[in-house]
Amino acid sequence: MRELICDTCRQEFALDEIELKNRVIAQDENGDDVIEQYFTCPLCGEDYSVIILDRQQEELIKKRRQIRARVNRAILNKRADRARKYAEQEQELKNDIRCREEMLKEKYGGR
Ligand SMILES: [Zn+2]
């Protein structure tokens, strides 16, 4: 089980004791909500940002989930070539998501 330590009160708690919450922190160029997922330390009430999502990021994550399902289906059907092709696509998307994650953190995070 992964544990987290609150930087403020030094309390440790397990991940499943924490409730992730969403809040709208901004609007992007198209007027769509930018959402921050965060949790609050149950002891001292300090907020911690987990991830920042905008609409495009949500699309990328959805797409990755679909490709992941294709990889699994190809493996089930013993289509190794196809599975490899989809796995490569998934890897690319994963990189895109990670880059965008950093970009969003730079742009909207650091409050
Ligand atoms: Zn705390």
pLDDT in tens, the chain (111 residues): 567 889 999 998 887 888 899 999 999 999 999 999 999 998 999 998 889 999 999 999 999 999 999 999 999 999 999 999 999 999 999 999 999 999 999 999 865
Distance 21 CA to ligand 1 centre (A): 16
Residue 29, pLDDT score: 92
Distance, CA 49 to ligand 1 centroid (Å)?
13
pLDDT at residue 110 in the model: 62
Structural domain spans, the chain: 3-108
**CA-based torsion, 44, 47, 49, 50: positive or negative:** positive
The pLDDT assigned to 73 comes to 97
Nearest to 6 by CA among 37, 49, 50, 43: 43
Does the pTM exceed 0.85?
no
pLDDT of residue 30: 93
